[in-house]
Amino acid sequence: MTYAFDFVRVEKNKKSNLSWHRKTRAEYLLAQVKLEDTFGWSEPIFAPINGVVREVVDGIKERQRLHPLTDFGLVIKNSVFFSYKRGKVHTLSGNYLIIEGEHCCAFIAHAKTNSIKPKVGDSVTVGDLIAELGHSGNSTAPHLHFQLMDGADIKTAKGLPCCFSNYDVLDDGSWVSKDNGIPTSANLIRFHDEQKQQY
């Protein structure tokens, strides 16, 4: 998991605060936030590298309602009891795929159930639609887990650092373009869609 990213889509809610869902805090605490109430769920995921798909796990169900006790309780349980030696990776990653490129492998996790498009052995190109964002596995909110690795076996591979060719970061109220940068956990960022010419 070294150098991994977790991307969560946020927008302004009814009170103009940034949130990952459309409901109020009280509704979240009362388990009234459904997957379709979140901003990120079912958004498209595109291939980050050119390569061949080496592993796919799909069909893992998602929890349809979100609640802090349920979601964080699962995270705590997995952090205490999960073992890569005896456990199955999808317990943590949910629906996922691994793409093997020329210089590294990409691991994409927490996809929406039954949304992964390519099969094992398929070739993908940067920008290809490969899945939809979901809430499967060890997830407290619909998000994309992304990392680069030095091999296709998630149980033995080591994480690799990576940068992004272009993105914008919110800096003192203004969007600032970054080239070949590495966002931090404190950054609010947006990526530019070259095909649609919009953010």
For the chain, what percentages of helix, strand and coil (3-state, to nearest 5) are there?
15, 40, 50
pLDDT at 69: 84
Domain ranges of the chain: 5-161, 163-199
pLDDT at 199: 32
DSSP E strand stretches across the chain: 5-7, 11-12, 18-19, 33-34, 44-46, 51-57, 65-66, 95-100, 105-111, 123-124, 129-132, 144-149, 159-160, 164-171, 174-181, 189-190
**Chain Cα centroid distance, residue 132:** 9
Q: What does the pLDDT look like over 146-193, one tens digit per residue?
A: 999 999 998 899 999 999 989 999 998 899 999 999 999 889 999 866
pTM: 0.87
pLDDT at 88: 78
Query: In this structure, are residues 98 and 118 in contact, taking their beta carbons and an 8 Å threshold?
Result: no
Q: 72 phi and psi, to 5 degrees? A: -70, -30
**Best CA proximity match to 183, nearest among 1, 64, 8, 34:** 8
The architecture in CATH of the region 5-161 reads Distorted Sandwich (2.70)
Neighbours of 46 (CB within 10 A): 16
The single-letter code of the amino acid at 21 is H
pLDDT at 196: 39
Cα torsion through 63, 156, 152, 120, rounded to 10: -50
pLDDT at 12: 78
> Residues of the chain whose pLDDT is less than 50?
194-199
pLDDT at 155: 86
pLDDT at 198: 34
**Chain Cα centroid distance, residue 153:** 19
